[in-house]
């Protein structure tokens, strides 16, 4: 082992390295995402150089002795990734130019992919929520599904951005995922990528005079979309509102504040942000309240981040009830700052707290009225390209049997494709005017999945509970 003293050369390299690492910041963007709240400059000074001698000694060693030429950019990127990885925080990440572009697209425009928000937690890549109407939603992806492989390649040890880059691709191309779902096991799914538009608010009149508003994420124009939805529904005679935040993975914090203000009286607290020194910044409703009609909020395990800010604000500052399941539990704020080369560091800079000062991180928000979907809502996607027939066995066969059961066909869900299952498939094919083969594949699989989704839509027990509670509100 050879030891070398850095001396003047080390200090010069250190200054150059830190200039790349710290002072090349050119612009900032958001991720639960806080607008315009950077640290205000570098905290590094020349007197701190000794702290980095080990780092620079390693750099010096690689540049001088490694048997191949080492790329400076890759070494710098690796050092940044290493520092962020040492924080053991899945929300603090480094994105190269390509990953940063993909991230920016996800909150500002349309992009091509499968349409699912993912996160890294305890070394696993998990689905937070699929986007409404996306290929991921149509394929049956659920919150908390673990992605194990993408096109046959393991995502073990990958960052969220690296995994996302593997999943995204050109419209019309396929990506094969291997998932693990709690209580179900391994699921293989092939999804065709498509253009994912960032349209984030969907509204309609239901049950007479109730306006249902589904918010799928918090992007640049979501507050404007919500304003329009409220106005349109009010013109149609809406006297009450259901705000559906199920499967909403979050997004821009400023949008969550503006949207919450529509349901919170001026001067009341919407949220608090607590920095590492314990100082709290309180965000209050700055405008007059827009909606004074009875409202309920609908949530589930895919309701995260900015969506949780809104749910908590409406409940704690306006007394609006929350219906559904425990939310995801993301209580931190990230700031994304871009380097001059287009790469970006996304760093957790604070906690966010509810109006009452609660930190919901990794705990979520418990609804006042619990409501679950039918058990068949958690059944996995079946690959229409696969063939399930007499003699087939496994979890996917069991899922198909449970789907048929949910649609009213009589059979036992054993996981073995027996004569009883074949008879049920034939009966389903006959009812749907399909070729009667007794084999589950292609059109039959697609039709089975579609019919189950229709049944779930007609039997949305969570929405039914929300309407029940809403009708009691004054």
| pLDDT tens sequence across 260-299 | 999 999 999 999 999 999 999 999 999 999 999 999 999 9
Phi, psi torsion values for 204, nearest 5 degrees: -165, 160
Integer Cα distance of 250 and 331 in angstroms: 11
Return the minimum-mean-pLDDT range out of 16-20, 83-87, 258-262: 16-20
Integer Cα distance of 290 and 60 in angstroms: 61
Confidence (pLDDT) at 113: 86
Confidence (pLDDT) at 14: 33
Confidence (pLDDT) at 24: 25
- The more confident residue out of 323 and 55 is 323
Specify whether the CB–CB gap between 334 and 32 falls below 8 A: yes
Integer Cα distance of 303 and 161 in angstroms: 21
Confidence (pLDDT) at 108: 59
Confidence (pLDDT) at 340: 87
388 bridge partner residues: 440
Question: What is the reported pTM?
Answer: 0.74
Integer Cα distance of 229 and 202 in angstroms: 7
Q: 3-state class of 97 per DSSP?
A: helix
Q: What angle do CA 32, 347, 225 make, to 5 degrees?
A: 20
34 falls in which pLDDT band (50, 70, 90)?
very low
> Is a pLDDT exceeding 50 seen at residue 5?
no
Confidence (pLDDT) at 326: 97
Confidence (pLDDT) at 103: 73
- The more confident residue out of 238 and 158 is 238
> Is a pLDDT exceeding 90 seen at residue 222?
yes
Count CB atoms within 10 A of the CB of residue 327.
27
Integer Cα distance of 150 and 153 in angstroms: 5
> Is a pLDDT exceeding 60 seen at residue 83?
yes
Integer Cα distance of 280 and 57 in angstroms: 40
User: pLDDT tens digits for 332-380?
Assistant: 999 888 888 888 999 999 999 999 999 999 999 999 999 999 999 988 8
Integer Cα distance of 52 and 21 in angstroms: 12
Integer Cα distance of 227 and 229 in angstroms: 5
31 bridge partner residues: 334
List own/partner pairs for 402-411 with CB under 8 A and 24 or more apart.
402/376, 403/376, 403/379, 403/448, 403/449, 403/452, 404/428, 404/448, 405/376, 406/374, 406/376, 406/379, 406/452, 406/455, 407/448, 407/451, 407/452, 407/455
User: pLDDT tens digits for 313-343?
Assistant: 999 999 999 999 999 999 999 988 888 888 8
> Is a pLDDT exceeding 70 seen at residue 13?
no
> Is the four-CA dihedral 348, 218, 146, 143 of positive or negative sign?
positive
> What mean pLDDT is reported for the chain?
86
> Is a pLDDT exceeding 90 seen at residue 41?
no
Integer Cα distance of 255 and 341 in angstroms: 28
Q: What is the 3-state secondary structure (H, E, C) of 394-418?
A: CHHHHHHHHHHHHCCCCCCCCCECC
* Alpha-carbon separation of residue 271 from 36, 51, 112, 282, 318 (angstroms): 17, 37, 33, 6, 13
Integer Cα distance of 188 and 131 in angstroms: 20
Average pLDDT on 211-219 reads 93
Confidence (pLDDT) at 106: 62
Integer Cα distance of 139 and 191 in angstroms: 7
* Alpha-carbon separation of residue 3 from 54, 221, 258, 439 (angstroms): 11, 57, 57, 70
Confidence (pLDDT) at 45: 60
- The more confident residue out of 425 and 15 is 425
Biggest alpha carbon distance in the chain?
83
398 falls in which pLDDT band (50, 70, 90)?
very high
Confidence (pLDDT) at 170: 87
Specify whether the CB–CB gap between 95 and 174 falls below 8 A: no
15 falls in which pLDDT band (50, 70, 90)?
very low
Dihedral class, residue 329 (left if φ above 0, else alpha if ψ from -120 to 50, else beta): left
Return the minimum-mean-pLDDT range out of 23-37, 96-110, 141-155: 23-37
List active site positions. 305, 330, 334
112 bridge partner residues: 195
Integer Cα distance of 255 and 455 in angstroms: 34
Q: How far apart are the first and last CA of the chain?
A: 77
234 falls in which pLDDT band (50, 70, 90)?
very high
Confidence (pLDDT) at 28: 27
| Contacts of residue 122, Cβ cutoff 8 Å, sequence gap at least 6 | none
220 falls in which pLDDT band (50, 70, 90)?
confident
């Amino acid at each position: 082992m050879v030891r070398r003293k850095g001396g003047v050369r080390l200090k010069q390299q250190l200054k150059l390295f830190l200039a790349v690492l710290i002072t090349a910041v050119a612009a900032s963007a958001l991720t639960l995402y806080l607008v315009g709240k950077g640290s205000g400059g570098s905290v590094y000074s020349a007197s701190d150089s000794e702290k980095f001698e080990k780092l620079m000694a390693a750099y010096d060693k690689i540049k001088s002795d490694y048997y191949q030429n080492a790329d400076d950019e890759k070494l710098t990127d690796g050092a940044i990734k290493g520092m962020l990885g040492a924080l053991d925080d899945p929300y603090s990440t480094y994105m190269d130019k390509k990953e940063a572009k993909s991230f920016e697209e996800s909150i500002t425009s349309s992009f091509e992919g499968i349409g699912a928000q993912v996160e890294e937690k305890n070394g696993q890549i998990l689905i937070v929520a699929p986007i409404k109407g996306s290929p991921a939603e149509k394929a049956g992806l659920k919150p908390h599904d673990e992605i194990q492989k993408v096109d046959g390649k393991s995502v073990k040890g990958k960052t969220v951005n690296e995994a996302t880059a593997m999943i995204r691709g050109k419209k019309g191309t396929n990506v094969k995922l291997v998932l693990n779902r709690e209580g179900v096991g391994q699921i293989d799914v092939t999804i065709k990528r498509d253009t994912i538009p960032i349209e984030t608010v969907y509204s309609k009149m239901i049950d007479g005079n109730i306006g249902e508003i589904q918010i799928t994420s918090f992007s640049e124009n979501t507050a404007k979309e919500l304003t329009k939805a409220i106005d349109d529904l009010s013109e149609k005679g809406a006297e009450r509102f259901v705000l559906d935040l199920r499967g909403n993975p979050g997004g821009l914090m400023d949008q969550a504040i503006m949207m919450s203000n529509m349901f919170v009286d001026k001067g009341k607290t919407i949220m608090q942000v607590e920095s590492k020194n314990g100082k709290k910044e309180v965000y209050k409703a700055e405008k007059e309240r827009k909606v004074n009609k009875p409202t309920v909020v609908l949530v589930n395990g895919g309701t995260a981040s900015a969506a949780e800010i809104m749910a908590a604000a409406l409940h704690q500052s306006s007394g609006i009830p929350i219906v559904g399941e425990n939310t995801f539990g993301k209580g931190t704020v990230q700031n994304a700052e871009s380097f001059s080369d287009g790469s970006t560091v996304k760093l957790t800079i604070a906690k966010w707290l509810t109006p009452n000062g609660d930190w919901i991180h990794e705990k979520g928000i418990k609804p006042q009225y619990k409501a679950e979907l039918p058990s068949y809502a958690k059944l996995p996607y079946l690959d229409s390209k696969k063939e399930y027939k007499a003699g087939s066995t496994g979890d996917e066969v069991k899922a198909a049997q449970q789907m048929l059961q949910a649609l009213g066909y009589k059979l036992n869900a054993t996981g073995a494709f027996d004569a009883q299952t074949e008879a049920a498939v034939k009966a389903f094919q006959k009812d749907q005017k399909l070729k009667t083969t007794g084999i589950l594949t292609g059109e039959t699989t697609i039709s089975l999945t579609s019919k189950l989704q229709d049944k779930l839509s007609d039997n949305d027990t969570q929405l039914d509970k929300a309407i029940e509670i809403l009708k009691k509100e004054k």
